[in-house]
Amino acid sequence: MGEGTARENRLGAYLKGRRARLDPAAFGFSASRRRTPGLRREEVAQRANISPTWYAWLEQGRGGAPSADVLDRIASALLLTDVEREHLFLIGLGHPPEARYRNDRGVTPRLQRVLAALEPSPALIRTATWDVVAWNRSVRVMLTDYGALPPDQRNILRAIFLDPAARAIQYDWESVARFVLGAVRADVARAGAEAEMRPLVEELRRLSPEFQALWEENAIQGPGEGLKHIRHPALGQLTFEYSAFAVDGRPDLSLVVYNPVEPADLARIAALLEAPAVG
């Protein structure tokens, strides 16, 4: 059996399994006189706006390689999750789908509890455009009080270039600004979020000559891990090791954790968190 045939058979089996789990009544189809559970092939084809014959061939492992557009329509017709959609592309075409940015700022209570458990190390969750959507108390007292900002202002790139307080805590602002801008560019391109990022870019180009100059450099930077040096108004100089992690099931989000290099600084941050003015 050739590789193409094996892939087509895997694709057909996957489509059939996903189709079988759907309730016809939920889509306005009659649930009576069905020999097997789920939608009929022609009903999936109708929802995906493709030929019923060709869809039947796909399930039978003889339809050839569908286009990315067809797979996208089938994924929507079958109500596939992001993970299921990616799997569909991997078995159907041998590669994941192109990036599709998910503009969803909500995080689950589970993720918020993860952030709390990481204290006293500051930790936050950011989108591909570096909007901060969740944070723990340590971020509030060590970096930025995002809760005091309107939701549309909670962006790390915006803070670096437009917030004097965020600029003041950096030991080498220009290096930090160049790094953050390059990392944001890489994340935005990877996520396919250029359209969502364009209004902020235009605003920063208008308001910050420094941003305009760095933007023209077109630098790209990987944001995975490194050191961050800050001047804290109460604790003085601190150095953090930071690491960024993908959030399972949410490819649009990253978890960023800042661990103090000096173990004694953890106790100092913990004490600051317990101070009456912070609690």
Four-CA torsion 70, 71, 77, 78, nearest 10 degrees: 160
Residue 1, pLDDT score:
42
Q: What is the DSSP letter of 257?
A: E
Distance, C-alpha 69 to centroid of its chain: 22
Asked whether residue 141 is assigned to any structural domain, the reply reads yes
Residues 89 and 124 in one domain: no
Number of neighbouring beta carbons within 10 Å of residue 193 = 21
Residues 44 and 176 in one domain: no
Indicate the number of domains in the chain.
Answer: 2
**Does the pLDDT at position 151 exceed 70?**
yes
Q: What is the DSSP letter of 245?
A: E
Residues 199 and 265 in one domain: yes
CATH code (residue 89)? 1.10.260.40
Indicate whether this model's pTM tops 0.85.
Answer: no
Asked whether residue 98 is assigned to any structural domain, the reply reads no
Residues 143 and 263 in one domain: yes
Q: What is the pLDDT of residues 11-59, one digit of tens each?
A: 889 999 999 999 888 888 887 778 888 899 999 999 999 999 999 999 9
Residue recorded with tokens 């804290």: 232
Q: Where are the alpha helices (DSSP H) in 99-145?
A: 109-117, 137-142
Inter-CA distances, 138 with 21, 168, 180, 270, Å: 44, 18, 21, 8
- Region 93-120: mean pLDDT is 82
Residue 105, pLDDT score:
65
Contact call for residues 220 and 178 (beta carbons, < 8 A)? no
The crossing angle, in degrees rounded to 10, of helices 68-77 and 82-93 is 140
Residues 188 and 156 in one domain: yes
Boundaries of domain holding 239: 109-274
The crossing angle, in degrees rounded to 10, of helices 41-48 and 52-59 is 120
Number of neighbouring beta carbons within 10 Å of residue 204 = 21
Q: What is the pLDDT of residues 201-257, one digit of tens each?
A: 999 999 999 999 999 888 877 656 688 999 998 999 999 999 999 887 777 889 999
**Does the pLDDT at position 4 exceed 60?**
no
**Does the pLDDT at position 104 exceed 70?**
no
Q: 3-state class of 200 per DSSP?
A: helix
Q: Which residues contact 278 (CB under 8 A, 6 or more apart)?
A: 137, 140, 141, 272
Q: Which of 31, 66, 93 is the last residue in one of the domains?
A: 93
